[in-house]
């Protein structure tokens, strides 16, 4: 089993324990031993660096952090299930199939919204959701499966490397927010200002990889030098959010990722920074996919 699959399994095991109230009851639901359940919970707590469950001879109960994690995971699963249900209810008879990549950070929701609103115009196509891992994302590619197992991926598209290797159809702009650890003094703020950010450390994705992020970094350095800026080595995956959930740093995030990590609170900032998102696909798309993209372009221009 891959590392990403193990992480997903730990979260699902945590849900079962939270709902059943004991390791033994959860083990019966999951068809594994209570010891295996306990090991997965311990591994999850060690990875996050946070105690999620109170243990007693009578069973388990959620800590405050555990309650927030449970609520957040439930929201993410609900949104994912909604998307899959939408796809299942589409009539797939004799329609051109579009394989849409979906991950935790790139669930394809913007394309699903277009589908729902303009179903009549897109009735000759059907979707097949193909899961991929956010661990595959690099500065050059959102996934090595793009163009083979995947026709397209929908999500942030501000990497210059992606434009060099793929076509991108922009769908809109996604406002940048800040993800704040629960133990941070600013966590109770409903909206942050540059005054609030004085002396704080902001974590941004890699430099020299995105013109949008480079412009933002330059503006912050020139006009807000009292804010400390550091950069990650690679584009984000869920591990990055887990890493900074226990720090004193503020992680740059997007409005669409507001429910990604329940251990961090996503807060609006009084700035105008935003990033494009859209459909990413091969430089040499099939006729089927090219026709589909043209349909989407027509819809956007209408």
Answer whether residue 93 shows pLDDT above 60: no
Q: Are 79 and 42 in contact (CB under 8 A)?
A: no
Answer whether residue 2 shows pLDDT above 50: no
**pLDDT > 70 in the chain, percent:** 92
**pLDDT > 90 in the chain, percent:** 46
Q: How far apart are CA 183 and CA 1, in angstroms?
A: 34
Using DSSP's 3-state secondary structure scheme, residue 115 falls into: helix
Q: Specify the pLDDT at position 21.
A: 92
State the CATH architecture for 3-62: Orthogonal Bundle (1.10)
> Which CATH number fits the domain 73-172+277-301, given the four candidates 3.10.450.50, 3.40.190.10, 3.30.420.40, 1.10.357.10?
3.40.190.10
Q: Specify the pLDDT at position 289.
A: 94
Q: Are 100 and 295 in contact (CB under 8 A)?
A: no
Q: Specify the pLDDT at position 242.
A: 86
Answer whether residue 1 shows pLDDT above 60: no
Q: How far apart are CA 48 and CA 1, in angstroms?
A: 20
Position 3 confidence tier, pLDDT thresholds 50, 70, 90: very low
User: What mean pLDDT do residues 233-243 have?
Assistant: 85
Q: Specify the pLDDT at position 231.
A: 95
Question: For the domain bounded by 175-273, which CATH number is listed?
Answer: 3.40.190.290
Torsion sign across C-alpha atoms 89, 93, 98, 101: positive
How many Å from the N-terminal Cα to the C-terminal Cα in the chain? Answer: 46
Q: Which of 98, 95, 124, 132 is nearest to 112 (CA)?
A: 98
Using DSSP's 3-state secondary structure scheme, residue 242 falls into: helix
Q: Report pLDDT digits (tens) over 143-183.
A: 989 989 999 999 999 888 899 999 999 999 999 999 999 88
Q: Specify the pLDDT at position 96.
A: 87
Using DSSP's 3-state secondary structure scheme, residue 167 falls into: strand
Comparing 78-82, 208-212, 225-229, 267-271, the range with the smallest average pLDDT is 78-82
Provide the residue ranges of all domains of the chain, joining segments of one domain with +. Answer: 3-62, 73-172+277-301, 175-273
47-75 burial code (b ≥16 CB/10 A, e <16): ebebebbeeeeeebebeebbebbbebbee
C-alpha 30: how far from its chain's center? 26
pTM over cut 0.85: no
29: which DSSP letter?
H
Answer whether residue 283 shows pLDDT above 90: yes
Intrachain domains 73-172+277-301 and 175-273 with the same fold: yes
C-alpha 8: how far from its chain's center? 13
User: What mean pLDDT do residues 178-204 have?
Assistant: 95
């Amino acid at each position: 089993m891959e590392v990403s699959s193990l992480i997903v399994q730990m979260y699902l095991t945590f849900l079962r324990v939270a709902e059943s109230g004991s390791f033994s009851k959860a083990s019966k639901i999951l068809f594994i031993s209570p010891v295996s359940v306990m090991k997965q919970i311990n591994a999850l707590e060690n990875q996050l660096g946070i105690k999620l469950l109170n243990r007693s001879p009578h069973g388990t109960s959620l800590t405050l952090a555990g309650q927030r994690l449970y609520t957040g995971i439930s929201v993410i699963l609900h949104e994912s299930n909604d998307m899959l249900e939408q796809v299942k209810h589409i009539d797939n008879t004799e329609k051109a199939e579009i394989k849409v990549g979906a991950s935790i950070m790139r669930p394809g929701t913007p394309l699903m919204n277009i589908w729902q609103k303009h179903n009549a115009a897109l009735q000759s196509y059907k979707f097949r959701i193909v899961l991929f891992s956010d661990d595959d994302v690099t500065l050059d590619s959102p996934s090595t499966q793009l163009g083979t197992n995947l026709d397209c991926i929908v999500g942030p598209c501000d990497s210059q490397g992606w434009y060099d290797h793929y076509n991108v159809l922009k769908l809109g702009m996604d406002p940048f927010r800040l993800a704040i650890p629960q133990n941070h003094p600013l966590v109770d703020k409903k909206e942050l200002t540059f005054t609030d950010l004085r002396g704080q450390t902001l974590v941004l994705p890699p430099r020299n990889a995105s013109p949008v992020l480079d412009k933002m970094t330059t503006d912050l350095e020139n006009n807000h030098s009292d804010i400390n800026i550091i950069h990650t080595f690679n584009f984000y995956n869920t591990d990055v959010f887990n890493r900074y959930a226990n720090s004193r740093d503020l992680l740059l995030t997007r409005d669409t990722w507001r429910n990604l990590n329940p251990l961090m609170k996503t807060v609006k900032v009084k700035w105008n920074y935003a990033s494009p998102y859209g459909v990413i696909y091969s430089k040499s798309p099939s006729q089927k996919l090219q026709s589909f993209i043209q349909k989407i372009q027509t819809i956007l221009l209408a």
